[in-house]
């Protein structure tokens, strides 16, 4: 009998489920997820979209995941932190998961303060997945060199950790410099909000960030053996145990027909066994890939949880 993983849901990119003016319903969905026993909700980050965001074409099924170059420039994308703050106000236990957060597009001190404030008002329920991103037009619009995003992300992580744990702080880096400043409030969680380091694979740089800053990691697919071996080795060198890292896996939808919703049973049958074998702590599913009627959300959440539990027996 496999341990039942925690269940989390993506509540962004819902244009096949609700109209843009109905974004308030996301708060209802979050409350329904909490009532159904789900662990957390994911909200995705983008500031702007450029014409090249659809350079690889839109997916045949509009409910499918929007990967690199598969995103419509005019897709509805509310502010991540504003939406998460609203969800925090209407829930009490649900984990607030700031997913694919484009950290380098904002100043690290502003990031540190905003996230600490959200962690404070949510009583320690915040998880952040910081990334560099893929859309060069978004960086150009914000006046930041796209090629610098990885180095900026590393400095951001260092500065946020300082701001969350010490007062006053000073920093001298390639992009950010300041001396003897205080950043308040401090977050509820010791060391700062939980950080899950994301990436397409466990590359050397991703592993480095996990070891230095991560509470865990999240990947789009199954982690490769070489990457896991590197992570275990580097964690050991740093005096950390890889078994203490939290891991999250994604349920990829199975669409029998391009113009219809995904089949939940087939999707779980294909994705869940390898994720369970890999020992993931949580799995993530996107409800809008399986239903087109928002009134079906409570029923879908219940059915999904029950099916996952039955597959773990």
CB neighbour burial string for 216-236, b if at least 16 within 10 angstroms, e if fewer: bbbbeeebeeebeebbbebbe
For the chain, give percent helix, strand, coil, nearest 5. 40, 15, 40
What distance in Å separates the CA atoms of residue 76 and residue 58, rounded to the nearest whole number? 15
Q: Which residue has the tokens 């990691």?
A: 217
The pLDDT tens digits along the chain (313 residues) read: 779 999 999 999 999 999 999 999 999 999 999 999 999 999 999 999 999 999 999 999 999 998 888 999 999 999 999 999 999 999 999 999 999 999 999 999 999 999 999 999 999 999 999 999 999 999 999 999 999 999 999 999 999 999 999 999 999 999 999 999 999 999 999 999 999 998 778 889 999 999 999 999 987 666 678 888 999 999 999 999 999 999 999 999 999 998 999 999 999 999 999 999 888 999 999 999 999 999 999 999 999 999 999 999 8
Q: Is the peptide bond before 41 cis (omega within 30 degrees of 0)?
A: no
CB neighbour burial string for 158-177, b if at least 16 within 10 angstroms, e if fewer: bbbbbbbeeeebebeeebee
The gap between the terminal CA atoms of the chain, to the nearest Å, is 5
For the question of whether the overall pTM of this predicted structure is more than 0.85, the answer is yes
The backbone torsions φ and ψ at residue 197, rounded to the nearest 5 degrees and listed phi first, read -85, 125
């Amino acid at each position: 009998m496999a341990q039942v993983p925690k269940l989390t849901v993506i509540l962004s990119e819902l244009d096949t489920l609700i109209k843009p003016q109905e974004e308030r319903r996301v708060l209802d969905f979050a409350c329904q997820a909490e009532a159904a026993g789900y662990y957390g909700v994911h909200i995705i980050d983008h500031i702007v979209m450029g014409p090249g965001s659809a350079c690889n074409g839109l997916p045949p099924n509009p409910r499918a995941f929007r990967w690199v170059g598969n995103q419509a420039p005019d897709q509805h994308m509310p502010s991540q932190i504003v939406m998460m703050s609203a969800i925090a106000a209407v829930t009490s236990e649900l984990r607030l998961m700031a997913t694919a957060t484009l950290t380098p597009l904002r100043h690290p001190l502003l990031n540190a303060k905003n996230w600490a404030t959200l962690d404070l008002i949510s009583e320690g329920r915040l998880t952040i997945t910081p990334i560099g991103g893929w859309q060069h037009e978004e960086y150009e619009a914000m006046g930041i060199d796209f090629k610098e995003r990885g180095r900026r992300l590393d400095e951001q992580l260092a500065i946020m950790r300082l701001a969350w744990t010490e007062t006053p702080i000073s920093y001298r880096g390639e992009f950010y410099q300041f001396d003897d400043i205080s950043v308040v409030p401090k977050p509820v969680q010791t060391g700062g909000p939980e950080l899950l380091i994301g990436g397409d694979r466990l590359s050397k740089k991703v592993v480095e960030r996990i070891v230095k800053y991560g509470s865990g990691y999240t990947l789009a697919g199954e982690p490769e053996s070489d990457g896991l071996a590197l992570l275990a080795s580097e964690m050991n060198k740093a005096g950390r145990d890889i078994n203490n890292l939290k891991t999250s896996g994604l349920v990829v939808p199975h669409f029998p027909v391009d113009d219809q919703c995904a089949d939940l049973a087939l999707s779980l049958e294909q994705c869940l066994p390898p994720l369970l074998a890999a020992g993931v702590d949580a799995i993530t599913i996107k409800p809008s890939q399986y239903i087109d009627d928002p009134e079906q959300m409570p029923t879908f959440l219940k059915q999904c949880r029950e099916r996952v539990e039955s597959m773990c027996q």
